[in-house]
């Protein structure tokens, strides 16, 4: 089902490993995290503002976050989860018993799950630039009393990580047992180990890259142009009026295509028609896949801010872990964290070779790294969906690191 590349404490090909994977419990077998509540912290208050990569200052900053599990007395059981672009701090559980859906990584977070809340204190925070409680372009600029809009400073992945570090300081947490995330979250996990090498014991990076490629940038630029071409964007000053829903929906449609694989789209939709037996021979929505993308785009506009999409997608495009260094290996030189890197065979947004580049650079530097390419037809979204394959890898990795560092 999967294979470990390079030296690893995990044994992917053993009968015991296969047995473990086949015996992974489902959500029905394992108790849910239950009801959770979002929390808010104010950090970087003047004159101690956050200095951004652009040179601008940002503060005060509000960070929305959630916690799961209990912080132990030694305060050394903390796992920081880092979300992808379109998600937020609500990683697990429900806010109310009748919530239609739990948090975006609920199948991974909870008692006995990959991130076992009976052992670890798990934190997930909403990145700066977001629109679900953390300071971003839809927040009020204290200098003007109006929403920031397009006057919000441009941010980077490193800025997000620096803000998270300030949040942890506010919470009295000096060191992380693990940072973990997929996609944009994986980039933040990598950046954490480089920016704060002595503050991270372990890192898990899933379906991610160390540098945004020309193809990645091109896809994001199409989405951004769709937003700014919407007449309702109004140079980013649309709060209190009509928002650029059409542009944001188009951006989401483009992005969503990149999250899927050719095989998964073929199996789910093929060339099936929508609500008709024959093609229309006009410009109506004929195919189910067209209707599906339109639905995805529309639903996204109901929970996400167009300006946040502009800022966060730009942060992705600026991401280059080797920036300021001679090479990727040089950037990773001081990293102390033990690594688990997972890629997915059908992910064409961040193909497995990009994960292998990270692993190779770590190996050249003598770092402790485990790598696994998981066979999956889900495309980039596999890191959210392949819990049955990912859970034993993550759980065993965390257990090995815990045993090695607490011997």
> Mind telling me the catalytic residues?
183, 347, 380
Strand partners, 68: 122
Strand partners, 211: 320
* Cβ-based neighbours of 259, under 8 Å, separated by 6 or more: 349, 379, 380, 381
Cβ-in-10-Å burial (0-12, 13-18, 19+) of 49 comes to middle
Tell me how far apart the alpha carbons of residues 58 and 374 are, in angstroms, rounded to a whole number: 40
Tell how strand 146-147 and strand 61-68 pair up: unpaired
* Cβ-based neighbours of 143, under 8 Å, separated by 6 or more: none
Q: At 147, is the secondary structure helix, strand, or coil?
A: strand
Chain-centre distance for alpha carbon 208? 9
Q: At 94, is the secondary structure helix, strand, or coil?
A: strand
Tell me how far apart the alpha carbons of residues 10 and 328 are, in angstroms, rounded to a whole number: 25
**Backbone φ, ψ for residue 400 (5° rounding):** -60, -45
Cβ-in-10-Å burial (0-12, 13-18, 19+) of 4 comes to middle
Residue 80 and residue 210 in contact, taking contact as beta carbons nearer than 8 Å = no
Chain-centre distance for alpha carbon 349? 14
* Cβ-based neighbours of 330, under 8 Å, separated by 6 or more: 322
> Tokens in use for 324?
């300021």
Tell me how far apart the alpha carbons of residues 198 and 206 are, in angstroms, rounded to a whole number: 22
Strand partners, 65: 39, 125
H-only helix segments in 140-230: 157-170, 184-195, 214-229
């Amino acid at each position: 089902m999967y294979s470990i590349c390079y030296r690893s404490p995990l044994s992917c090909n053993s009968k015991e490993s296969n047995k473990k994977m086949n015996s992974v419990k489902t959500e029905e077998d394992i108790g849910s995290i239950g009801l959770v509540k979002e929390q808010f912290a104010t950090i970087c208050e003047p004159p101690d503002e956050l200095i951004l990569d652009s040179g601008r200052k940002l503060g005060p900053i509000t960070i929305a976050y959630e916690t799961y599990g209990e912080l132990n007395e030694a305060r050394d059981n903390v796992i920081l989860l880092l979300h992808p672009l379109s998600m937020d701090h609500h990683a697990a559980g429900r806010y109310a018993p009748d919530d239609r859906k739990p948090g975006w990584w609920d199948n991974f977070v909870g008692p006995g799950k990959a991130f076992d809340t009976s052992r670890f204190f798990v934190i997930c925070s909403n990145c700066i630039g977001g629109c679900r409680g953390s300071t971003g372009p839809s927040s009020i600029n204290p200098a003007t009393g109006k929403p920031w809009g397009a006057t919000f400073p441009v941010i980077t992945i490193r800025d997000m990580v620096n803000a998270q570090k300030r949040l942890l300081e506010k919470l009295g947490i000096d060191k992380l047992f693990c940072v973990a995330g997929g996609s944009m979250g994986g980039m933040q996990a990598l950046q954490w180990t480089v920016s704060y090498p002595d503050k991270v014991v372990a890192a898990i990076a899933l379906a991610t890259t160390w540098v945004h490629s020309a193809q990645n940038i091109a896809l994001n630029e199409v989405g951004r142009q769709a937003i700014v071409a919407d007449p309702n964007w109004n140079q980013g000053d649309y709060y209190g009026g009509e928002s650029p829903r059409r542009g944001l929906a188009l951006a989401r449609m483009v992005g969503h295509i990149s999250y899927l694989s050719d095989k998964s789209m073929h199996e789910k939709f093929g060339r099936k028609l929508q609500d008709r037996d024959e093609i229309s021979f006009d410009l109506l929505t004929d195919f189910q896949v067209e209707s599906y993308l339109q639905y995805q785009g529309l639903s996204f506009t109901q929970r996400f801010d167009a300006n946040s999409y502009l800022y966060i997608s730009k942060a992705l495009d600026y991401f280059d872990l080797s920036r300021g260094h001679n090479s990727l290996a040089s950037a990773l030189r001081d990293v102390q964290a033990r690594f688990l890197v997972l890629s997915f065979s059908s992910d064409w947004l961040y193909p497995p070779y990009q994960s292998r580049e990270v692993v190779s650079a770590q190996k050249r530097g003598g770092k402790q790294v485990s790598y696994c390419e998981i066979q999956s037809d889900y495309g980039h979204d596999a890191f959210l969906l392949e819990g049955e394959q990912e859970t034993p890898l993550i759980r065993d990795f965390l257990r090995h690191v815990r045993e090695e560092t607490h011997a």
